[in-house]
Amino acid sequence: MKFVDEFRAPELITKAGEEIRRLADANRHYRIMEVCGGHTHAIYRFGLKDLLPSNVELIHGPGCPVCVLPMGRIDDGLSLAAQPNFIFAAFGDMMRVPGTHGSPLEYKARGMDVRIVYSPADALKLARSNPGKHVMFFAIGFETTAPSTALTLVRAKAEGLLNFSVFCNHVTIIPAIRAILDSPDMRLDGFVGPGHVSTVIGCRPYDWIAKDEGKPVVVSGFEPLDILQSIVMLLRQLRKGEAKVENQYKRVVPWEGNRAALRAMAEVFELRPYFEWRGLGFISQSALKIRASYAEWDSEQRFAVPGVRVTDPKAAQCGEVLKGVLKPAQCKLFGRECTPEQPVGALMVSSEGSCAAYYNYEHRKPVTIASAAAI
């Protein structure tokens, strides 16, 4: 696979790992946060932690849009779609996320018309081919995904397709990073920046992290060599006492971002005054809602939303794990009451949530493993 396989070349990965071990100052302990859930997933999938020295620690950040979605919003979405002749359409990621009375797949088992879509455009297609039904697209995601929802709404409006609406749960990444840095128990040395969000917002939005907080940010791709190279670049800055924003993912991320994508978002969305993030609490100006000019395509403006608020059990320490203060295994519920099959808290519900990723890929790994020997 072009633009994929080259960035998985084993010899180069080994070399990058060696460079990291060479650069890491033995007298320092580095705490680097990778913001995006996609990076969390990649790190586990490719076993990249096995290549890092013990004094370079990767902390998983809050960039998992499924994990930070409050259960009440899932309840709201499902109760809206429980009307007759409704189709509930969402990405596969949402299908097993439990609401108070079950997950979308469980609702499907009980007779609701629930469809998995790969794209918001496919949800629109469902509306076109089912004129007698209303298709509600349950939208999630950060700025990577929001432009696609926006463009889909633009197309729906242009077509005058009224049996389609979006239940919008898009959130923005900068307020989440700010919440992490504002947390008093936080100590981070630098950030591996979210590469795909940055294809939309560019690299400028991270300037304040370097200038005001003094932490380096390297916007990173998702292949093993991308992530390792980003860590090399961060360590180089830290050795020199520098703090700037760098773009490791140059082949894809434009420094100024994607103007057409930002225009589409501005046309369709505006910022909510505040929004609740599961595990982090209410954060102002951190989420998108659909403008009045698109009211007919906004599930919340068209239908009555119950506005359910569900609090997580106090024992679930998702907030601390989200902020990187606790490791997944340090939460009292981890692996016992809370597992990927029966998730209690936010970080178990999605396969890229820190707790689920750790549980699935890592926590039973023995400490010493003979390195891969050719047969």
Partner 1 sequence: MCLAIPGKIVEMDSQNAHLAVVDVVGVRRKVDLGLLQDELPVPGDWVLIHVGFAMSKISEADAVDQMQTLRMLGEAEAAMQEVRGYGLENHEQSEPAQRRKQ
Partner 2 sequence: MATPVSKIRFREPQIEMAHGAGGKASRRLVEGLFAPLLYGSCHGPLGDAAHIQINGTRIAMTTDSFVVKPLRFPGGSIGELAINGTVNDLAVSGARAEAIVVTFVLEAGLPTDVLEAEVRAMGQAAEKAGVVIAGGDTKVVEHGKADGMYVTTTGIGRLLSGVEISPQSVRPGDKVLLSGPIGDHGITILLARGDLDLEAELRSDTRSVFPLVQALVHEAGADVRWMRDPTRGGVATSLNELARDCGHGIVLFEEKIPVRDSVRGACELLGLDPLHIANEGQFLAVVSSEDAESALQALRATPGGEEAKMIGEVREQPASAVLVTTLYGGSRLVDMLVGDPLPRIC
Catalog residues that contact partner 1 under the rule CB under 8 A. 1-4, 6, 12, 15-16, 18-19, 22, 36-39, 41, 63-65, 91, 118-122, 141-142, 144-145, 147-148, 151, 154-155, 194-197, 199-200, 222, 225, 229, 232, 250-254, 258-261, 264
Closest CA to 280 of 174, 209, 139, 180: 180
Partner that binds at residue 2, options partner 1, partner 2, none, CB closer than 5 to 8 Å by kind: partner 1
Q: Which is nearer to partner 2, 12 or 186 (CB)?
A: 12
Partner that binds at residue 19, options partner 2, partner 1, none, CB closer than 5 to 8 Å by kind: partner 1
CB 127 within 8 A of CB 240: no
Distance, in Å, from the CA atom of 298 to the CA atom of 320, rounded to the nearest integer, reads 33
Beta-carbon contacts of residue 265 (< 8 Å; ≥ 6 apart): 143, 146, 147, 150, 200, 288
Q: Which is nearer to partner 1, 118 or 241 (CB)?
A: 118
* Binding range to partner 2, per CB under 8 A, among 64-72, 168-176, 209-217, 259-267: 64-72
Q: Does 111 bind partner 2 (CB under 8 A)?
A: no
Q: Which is nearer to partner 1, 218 or 333 (CB)?
A: 218
Give residue for tokens 């890229």: 352
51-60 burial: b if 16+ Cβ within 10 Å, else e: bbeeebbbbb
What sign for the dihedral angle of Cα 152, 199, 319, 228?
A: positive
* Alpha-carbon torsion, ordered 194, 199, 200, 204, to 10 deg: 70
Q: Does 141 bind partner 2 (CB under 8 A)?
A: yes
List contacts with partner 2 (CB under 8 A): 1, 4, 10-11, 13-14, 17, 37-38, 41, 44-51, 64-66, 91-93, 95-96, 105-106, 108-109, 115-119, 122, 141, 145, 224, 340-341, 350-352, 360-362, 364-366, 369-372, 374-375
